Amino acid sequence: MADGKLAVCENKNYRVQIFNVNGLPEVVIDNQLNRNLHLPWGLCSGMDGRLLTVTNRTEVHFYNYRGMSLNSVEVHGKKIGCLKAVSLLDRDRMVVSTCGNNPGVYVLDIGGKTLATLKGGFLQPNYLSTDPTKGLVAVSDSELRTVQLFDVSGKRRAVLGDYNNPGPFLSWPTGVAFNDKGNLLVVDQVDHSVAEYTNDGRYIHDVLTGEHGLKNPLDIAVDNLGRLGVCSQWYDYQKNNYSVQVFVPESGRRQRAS
């Protein structure tokens, strides 16, 4: 988001929070303000000031950065089930993923009409990211242990974690995000790491590891300052723990935690 802000989706608390550059909450979008915000999952922001979130139903909700509801659209398609992730391609197109009985990834117009279907044999496409400048879509599938790269027409360009790919094996890939270089960042929850790949799938290096304080990372976002926001979840002492950490990518230095 702009000005180093970070939006965090909390499905168990039925809310989305927007934090400022110092890690303090500025805006809360919750079910009391928007009755349609039922179990929000996927979340993305656009450079045009829109914030998109999907619930475990079939709607995409649009907000501005002040938390004001702009509109909601119903995703059309007989095979499209509960939405899991969303990312903007441009002002007029977005990409969503669905899980459950009909896992899949779809390119939609801004009104929710299906334009293309990405053919990846998906089992659990819980996370995705887009690079609007290159017209690329990255889809992470933990069950397949792969991250697949597509163009917007649906053509598959690369498969990360595949045995035929020269890069490292992926233990449990989750969050993905394109950085300001156009490279792809991939979270591996089991390996406690974030790795960087070129946009054609070649492994570059590990950006963050457990030595930087990562523990069971789930998702990642890149702000307009190039910093990395990493969401983590781990279990100890009969309790689920959640955290959001912000790192300076070149040094791996942790800047703040929420």
Q: What is the CA radius of gyration of the chain?
A: 17
| pLDDT band for position 57 (cuts 50, 70, 90) | confident
Position 30 pLDDT exceeds 80: no
Give the Cα separation of 208 and 215 in Å (integer). 11
Q: 22 has which bridge partners?
A: none
Give the Cα separation of 184 and 198 in Å (integer). 6
What are the C-alpha distances in Å from 153 to residues 95, 108, 237?
A: 12, 12, 47
Position 229 pLDDT exceeds 70: yes
CATH class for domain 1-86? Answer: mainly beta
Q: Does domain 119-258 have CATH number 3.40.50.410?
A: no
Q: Which has the higher per-residue pLDDT, 242 or 247?
A: 247
Nearest to 56 by CA among 87, 13, 99: 99
Q: Do 1 and 65 form a contact (C-beta atoms < 8 A)?
A: yes
Q: 118 has which bridge partners?
A: 105
Domain borders along the chain are 1-86, 119-258
Residue in this structure with the two tokens 């929710």, named with its chain if needed: 112
Tokens standing for residue 83: 């939405």
Position 38 pLDDT exceeds 70: no
Q: Which has the higher per-residue pLDDT, 183 or 74?
A: 183
Q: What is the pTM of this model?
A: 0.89
Report the mean per-residue pLDDT for the chain: 85
